[in-house]
Amino acid sequence: MTKFSNLLLIMLVGFAFFSMTSCRKDKFDDPKQITEDPNLDTISIGRLKAMYSGGSPITITDSVTIAGIVVGNDISGNIYEELFIDDGNQGLPVLIDRSALYGDFPVGRKIYIKCKGLVLGAYGGMTQLGGYANGVSVEGIPSGLITKYIVKGPTGYNVDTLTQTITNINSLNDAYLGRLIKLVDVEFDDASAGVPFADINLPQPGTGERYLRTCAALGTTITVRNSAYSKFASLNTPKGNGIAYGIYTKYNSEKQLLLRDVTDLQLTNFRCDGSNPNEQTLFSENFNGISGSNNDVLNISAWQNITEQNTALWQNAIFGSVKCAKIDSYNASVGPIISWLITPAINLGSTTSKSLKFSFAPGKADGITTFKVLVSTDYDRTSTSPQNFTWTTIADTACTTPTSGYGTLAPFRTLDLSAFSGNIYVAFKYEATKVSQCTIYELDDVKVSGL
């Protein structure tokens, strides 16, 4: 080979190497967007689902194709190896044995599924489409066979047009299964609000079951199941009220909402009880931890239960599952009564807007016996003579009804604590003069909040 030929070879190799290295990219291009619709002949999702009548999974033998818009995928990790599609009338979960499906199947993409050879079955009473049957279970379409069964269509469909607006959780039925729904005027219940979406702090992290309710029916809930492996598992659930999107599913008779991502929740409004979702709980007591029986003397850690005059002390009030505190004159002598129930120290911190809320119910009201709420910043926490300290009265009421029986525990008006700072003590003070039976007062759900 001549020197010229060797030089030419070296130049060509060098040029090729330069071309390869100069074209290198740090990340892959996004999948090519498809805008053309193959317009395959299809049957409805409803017709496909009608082929399965229950029991063990069945293999589809007819050469049928369905089409639908992807309304849910695994982008946040809360949905696992599964897509949800909707054809405008019904929804369907499609099991696929591959992760990161959202790259090829983003929300808003139309897809066609050639169903011959796939299987239909059910989990928890919800029909599923998958690749094969493993006993009574439907398993995902094998990743190597995705392109055999699934044909990609155009992207960019607006799934809002497929969203089903629900104003009453009780109205949800099987017709909505697998579909994207929009729940309005909802909030997480008291136990589910402001806690992590999933139970990530357990020795074995588990799915978190949180519950949404509507203001119109506080006792009716829908379960929000959140994977411990979702991207938002460690975040706290919103405390506010508003709109929640998600895929409607069920497990037997339990209605469930499957979040696609945390952005499905738009819960920023005031809660059903009028509280601000941004407020901090500085102190709370629901008396559920009281021990003993009904009418026993109330004994709760760090609280002071004191009789200044006569012998009436605050007592346990236990009625089935309801536990609260109560005060009456039944065991007192004839004459004046003064009794105190004082909270532990409550640190108001750096909050500027502070309030006190509690539930309250009178009984056998005589219109004379008073119920007072007082605040002190100099009480010493242990003294059995609270009258020797400085107290500011922020509520003073004397009830006239009901004159027999008990009223229903209901929120007392919100009391403003903005004039106080640092550590405070809240006292619930009972004053009466016993001739016969005096008014009975019940107290529950004491909460101090700040903003």
Query: Could you read off the pLDDT of 42-87 as tens digits, one per residue?
Result: 999 999 999 999 999 999 999 999 999 999 999 999 999 999 999 9
Which pLDDT score, from 0 to 100, does residue 159 have?
A: 97
Which pLDDT score, from 0 to 100, does residue 14 have?
A: 44
Burial of 145 (0-12, 13-18, 19+ CB in 10 A): middle
In the chain, the domains with their CATH numbers are 45-159 (2.40.50), 163-273 (2.40.50), 282-450 (2.60.120.200)
Of 340, 400, 320, which Cα lies nearest the Cα of 367? 400
pLDDT in tens, 187-237: 999 999 999 999 988 888 889 999 999 999 999 999 999 999 999 999 999
> How many residues appear in the chain?
451
Distance of CA 230 to the CA centre of its chain: 15
What stretches in the chain show pLDDT beneath 70?
1-35
Burial of 374 (0-12, 13-18, 19+ CB in 10 A): buried
Which pLDDT score, from 0 to 100, does residue 204 have?
A: 80
**CB distance 394 to 374 below 8 Å:** yes
